[in-house]
Structure 1
Amino acid sequence: MTIDPRLHRHIAEHPYPLLFATISGAHLYGFPSPDSDFDLRGVHLLPLRDIVGMRETEETIERSGLHDGLEIDLVTHDARKFFGLMLKKNGYVLEQLLSPLVVYTTPEHQELRALADSCVTRHHAHHYLGFAETQWKLFQKADPPHVKPLLYVYRVLLTGIHLMRTGEVEANLVKLNELVRLPQIPDLIAQKTGGPELGKLETADLSFHEAEYERLRRELQSAFEQSRLPEAPVAAEALHELLVRLRLKEANIQRVPAT
């Protein structure tokens, strides 16, 4: 995917220095509609003076709207908050960090990417099981059903299964389906990419998709139980050292070696 220059211009207007900004959402997952917005996700670095005083800080920046003709949804977290999320069973932040759709990067972004494997645990399966359940309920609520939440169900479960078996974070449904070859996926993606973001499902065998949902949930649960991934992340100290270095660098302070 070629990165639209207008996204670069939008990122350049961010109020704080960025470590990275990537594209998440439907573009990352492999099924953007023509009217899909661009989900920009990233990490910013608050000035030292803003985090050592009494004032409340903007740990999270959220901006949505039309910019240069593009619908953009921007969310960035301060480094401390994002690093903390990396140490939880939050697959979403790892997908953002490892997204190949990079709008802005730094050497520290590459350091973070290298630490991602040390944050993955078998308990990330719970993130994907919970996310899939939420999307399945959204799919069931709509009458007639929408294709978007159904695709999210398949994407989330297949991402979780793949992660448990390989330790690799893969968020793109097209690539995931190259491995498992579910015959219903290409048609669902074609409906989503060829229509509006909230397009109705043209034809739906609801009992079939429900059976597939339950089957893949069982498969993810089984993959979790058999996974050899660690029980807990091991990147805490490395993330701490990186954050300290970033703060001191931003403040132009030389670190005193420990005695």
Structure 2
Amino acid sequence: MTDVLDLDLSPVIAEQPGPVLFATVSGAHLYGFPSRDSDVDLRGVHLLPAADLVGLREPDETRSRTWVRDGVEMDLVTHDLRKFARLMLRRNGYVLEQLLSPLVVHTTGAHRELAALVPGVLTRHHAHHYRGFAQTQWRLFERTGELKPLLYTFRVLLTGIHLMRSGEVQPHLPTLAVEVGAAPDRLPELIAAKAEREHGDAAVDHARVRAEVERLHRLLDEAQATSALPDAPTAYDALHDLVVRIRLER
């Protein structure tokens, strides 16, 4: 299994054009169920020159690259700071998980400032993000019977429930299984099976897991209805000021 903590990923960041404000590991390593052959998903933010944003040409605000380095498949996606800030304001739990990932490859003061603004972008409507993500992964599981989309289904529902209850973004499935207290009994066994193979049949009773997924959906609905999170983000002005300041400083 690829242990991301054993990899020196700093050269990957050094190869990128222009400043990189942060890069973290996302995907299965962040979620707590990497396989022996899992790739390494790197996510982050880069900074375009101001001239690229004020002219007539539309800038390419997202950079994406997939390649093999030292026998490990790497997948790197970064957004320009402005685009990332806009995504933060769109009830997008995915980018918040990347921003707050403890698996940090590269960081700066701007990274820490962005992370500090996360509480001001969280709303009860982030439940829609996790509900929709779960529905997509569940349909994939029903079509393929594979373990990976089933674990993703459990993971995003538990993340959504935890977020609605606590106001904390927690994507790590083994941690969620303990903190939420509503995880399926077989979850540790399924995570262990995923460690052995990236793709493969889940070998579960479909009717039973369907009932478990429906139960988690109900818990997410209940958690959203009673959540103390606001209806709208409060950090718009702070994010705007941060984007302008960092752009002008560079």
TM range (shorter): over 0.9
Q: Secondary structure at the match of 1:3?
A: helix
Runs (5+) with no aligned partner, structure 2: none
Task: State how 1:40-51 maps to structure 2 within 5 Å.
Answer: 40-51=42-53
Percent of pairs with identical residues = 59
Q: Which amino acid aligns with 1:22?
A: T
Q: Which amino acid aligns with 1:169?
A: V
Shift of 1:5: 3.8
Q: Secondary structure at the match of 2:67?
A: strand
Question: Which segment is superposed worse, 46-55 or 227-236?
Answer: 46-55
Deviations 1:69-122 (A, max 9, x none): 220111100000000010111100100000000000001101111100111000
Q: TM-score, normalised by structure 1?
A: 0.92
Calculate the aligned-residue CA RMSD, in Å.
Answer: 1.1
Q: Structure 1: how far apart are the matches of 2:62 and 2:39?
A: 20
1:247 is aligned to 247
Q: Secondary structure at the match of 1:61?
A: strand
Q: TM-score, normalised by structure 2?
A: 0.95
Task: Judge conservation of contact 1:10–1:67 (CA < 8 Å) in 2.
Answer: no
Deviations 1:207-228 (A, max 9, x none): 0000001110011011111111
Shift of 1:150: 0.3
Find out whether 1:139 has 2:134 as its counterpart: no
Q: Structure 2: how far apart are the matches of 1:41 and 1:186?
A: 27
Task: Judge conservation of contact 1:3–1:103 (CA < 8 Å) in 2.
Answer: no
Find out whether 1:170 has 2:162 as its counterpart: no
2:210 is aligned to 210
Higher Cα Rg, which structure? 1
Runs (5+) with no aligned partner, structure 1: 251-259
Q: Structure 2: how far apart are the matches of 1:4 and 1:204?
A: 33
Question: Which segment is superposed worse, 67-76 or 98-107?
Answer: 67-76
Shift of 1:2: 5.3
Q: Structure 2: how far apart are the matches of 1:74 and 1:4?
A: 18
1:227 is aligned to 227
Q: Structure 2: how far apart are the matches of 1:149 and 1:25?
A: 12
Question: Which segment is superposed worse, 156-165 or 11-20?
Answer: 11-20
Task: State how 1:62-141 maps to structure 2 within 5 Å.
Answer: 62-141=64-143
